[in-house]
Amino acid sequence: MPEYTPPIRDMQFVLHELLDVESKLAELPPYAEHGRELFDQVLEEGGRFCAEVLFPLNRTGDEEGCHYEGDGVVRTPAGFKDAWDRFREAGWPTLTCDPEYGGQGLPYAVGMAFQEMLNSANQAWAMYPGLTHGAYNCLLAHGTPEQKALYLPKLVSGQWTGTMCLTEAHCGTDLGLLRTKAEPQDDGSYRITGTKIFISSGEHDLAENIVHLVLARLPDAPQGTKGISLFVVPKFVPDAAGEPGERNTVRCARIEEKMGIHGNATCVIDLDGARGWLVGEANKGLAAMFVMMNSARIGVGLQTLGLMETAYQNSLAYAKERLQMRSLSGPKAPDKPADPIIVHPDVRRMLLTQKAWTEGSRAFALWLALQSDVAHGHPDEQARKDAEEMLALLTPVVKAFLTDNGFASTVLAQQVFGGHGYIREWGMEQYVRDARINMIYEGTNAIQSLDLLGRKVLGDSGAKLRKFGKLVAEFVEAEGTNEDMAEFVNPLADLGQKVEKLTMEIGMKAFQNPDEAGAAAVDYLRIIGHLVLGYFWARMAKIALERQDSDDPLYRSKLATARFYFAKLMPETAALIRSARAGAKPLMDVEVDLF
Active-site residue set: 442
Q: Within a 13 Å sphere around the CA of 208, how many CA atoms are in the beta-carbon half?
A: 15
280 Rama sector, left if φ>0, alpha if ψ -120 to 50, beta otherwise: left
Grouping H, G, I as helix, E, B as strand and the rest as coil, residue 593 is helix
Residue 564: name the closest of 526, 533, 522 by CA. Answer: 533
HEC profile of 490-530 = HHHHHHHHHHHHHHHHHHHHHHHCCHHHHHHHHHHHHHHHH
Q: d(Cα 509, Cα 530) in Å, to the nearest integer?
A: 23
Contact 118, 129 (CB under 8 A): yes
Look at residue 155 and give its three-state secondary structure: helix
The string over 107-140, giving b where at least 16 C-beta atoms fall within 10 Å of a residue's C-beta and e elsewhere, is bbbbbbbbbbbbbbbbbbbbbbbbbbbbbbbbbb
- Type of residue found at 269: I
How many other C-beta atoms can be found within 10 angstroms of the C-beta atom of residue 402? 31
d(CA 191, CA 199): 20
CA distance 516 to 280: 36
d(CA 354, CA 352) in angstroms, rounded, equals: 5
> Do residues 165 and 276 make contact, with C-beta atoms less than 8 angstroms apart?
no
Helix orientation angle between 486-512 and 572-581, rounded to the nearest 10 degrees = 10
In whole angstroms, give the CA distance from residue 322 to residue 332.
13
CA distance 340 to 354: 19
Do 233 and 203 contact (CB within 8 A), yes or no?
no
Question: Comparing C-alpha atoms, which of 535, 409, 408, 549 is closest to residue 478?
Answer: 535
